[in-house]
Amino acid sequence: MSLLFVGQSSADPAHTPGGPCIQDDQTVSRSSVADYDDTVRTLGQIERSSNGLVTVDSAGVSGEGRELLYATVGSGGDVFWLQGRIHGNELQGTQAVLDVIRWLAGGSQEARMIRDNLTVVAIPLYNPDGAEANIRQSTTPNRIDLNRDWENFAQPESRAFYALWEAVRPKLALDVHHMSSAPRVEGTNDLNQFQIGARSISPTRMTDQQWLTNRQMASLTLETLDGYGQTHTARYPDIDITNAVLSRMLLGGPGPDGSDPGFQTQGAIFYEVRSVGQKSNGYLTNLFTRPVTAVLTAAADGSLYGHGVSSWEAEPYARSGSCGEF
Ligand SMILES: [Zn+2]
């Protein structure tokens, strides 16, 4: 790590070698990462061993005909939507969501409490075709960024998951992504491993309650990672993207046929985790699962809705030139 800093003084942060994004010297080995077949098999194993606590269903089929699988855990009134790998080449989101599903089916006190108070709808692999091709977008009928398709709904994946969203009416949603390289935290030379995305649309387009809930989810997330290893967190750049999945959930439709679903998701945020070599896979997966399980717990016991927002308010941005793309 120190080699990356040779010739760079903290008084001259604008001249970071290689620009704001540090490319990792070690690429992730796809063989160590859950693919579509692994996802099908693992979900089946979890379902069979869960004694009825986890059910696995398909929301539809992808452009190439793969099942769009999701797991449902819990029987509480509030629905929590967790999705991973809408971008096929953002590898570890799938394993992280599978790990969370397995944990939710377990015997811990937190998992029981969450199952009693929430219904968790978890999608480990939103974009199976893109994952198999190791690309960001879908493959057929078109190469489309599925996180820019909840306006045109050109892809079968988008229509299927919108219909599921409309059917289950999630109160909260979390979407996990990867940065392909690491920026630095603004004002420091710290490599930034985790970005928090509290807004995919401008707060002026959210209700006051949505913006509060998003910042509560974000603050709790940041507090969970504070002091965890060498993790340095930062805010994702401010964006206002209408056709992203979370944005459409917050805006409350309209859907593919123009109809109004009659509800809006109250809180919807995203994570961007640095993607590095396979030796770090366990650490990276924990960067997802630690905050996800904390947010689930707080949503289930209700403490989330009284949580402060100061941790998010105080959070620095990543240095200009974002390295992940939501
Ligand atoms: Zn992404």
DSSP state letters, 102-114? HHHTS--HHHHHH
DSSP category for residue 29: P
Residue the block writes with tokens 């790590």: 1
Contact 254, 180 (CB under 8 A): no
Map out the domains of the chain with their CATH numbers: 23-313 (3.40.630.10)
The amino acid sitting at 263 is: F
| Centre of ligand 1 from the C-alpha of residue 3, in Å | 28
| Centre of ligand 1 from the C-alpha of residue 205, in Å | 22
Give the pLDDT of the chain (326 residues) as one tens digit per residue: 333 333 333 333 333 344 455 555 445 567 778 999 999 999 999 999 999 999 999 999 999 999 999 999 999 999 999 999 999 998 889 999 999 999 999 999 999 999 999 999 999 999 999 999 999 999 999 999 999 999 999 999 999 999 999 999 999 999 999 887 778 899 998 988 899 999 999 999 999 999 999 999 999 999 999 988 888 999 999 999 999 999 999 999 999 999 999 999 999 999 999 875 555 677 888 899 999 999 999 999 999 999 999 999 999 998 876 566 78
Q: Measure Cα distances from 99 to 46, 194, 241, 288, 307 in Å.
A: 10, 19, 29, 10, 26
Q: What is the pLDDT of residue 7?
A: 32
| Centre of ligand 1 from the C-alpha of residue 145, in Å | 9
| Centre of ligand 1 from the C-alpha of residue 293, in Å | 20
Q: What is the pLDDT of residue 324?
A: 62
**What is this structure's pTM?**
0.91
| Centre of ligand 1 from the C-alpha of residue 280, in Å | 19
| Centre of ligand 1 from the C-alpha of residue 94, in Å | 12
| Centre of ligand 1 from the C-alpha of residue 285, in Å | 15
| Centre of ligand 1 from the C-alpha of residue 155, in Å | 17
The amino acid sitting at 250 is: L
Euclidean distance between CA atoms 179 and 19, whole angstroms? 15
Could you report the per-residue pLDDT of 183-216, keeping only the tens digit for each? 889 999 898 889 999 999 999 999 999 999 999 9
SS3 content of the chain, % helix, strand, coil (to 5): 40, 20, 45
Give the strand pairing for 54-61 and 67-73.
antiparallel
Q: What is the pLDDT of residue 126?
A: 98
Cis amide bond preceding 256, omega within 30: no
Number of CB atoms found within 10 A of residue 172's CB = 24
How far is C-alpha 12 from the chain's CA centre? 33
Region of 134 on the Ramachandran plot (φ > 0 left; ψ -120 to 50 alpha; else beta): left
| Centre of ligand 1 from the C-alpha of residue 207, in Å | 25
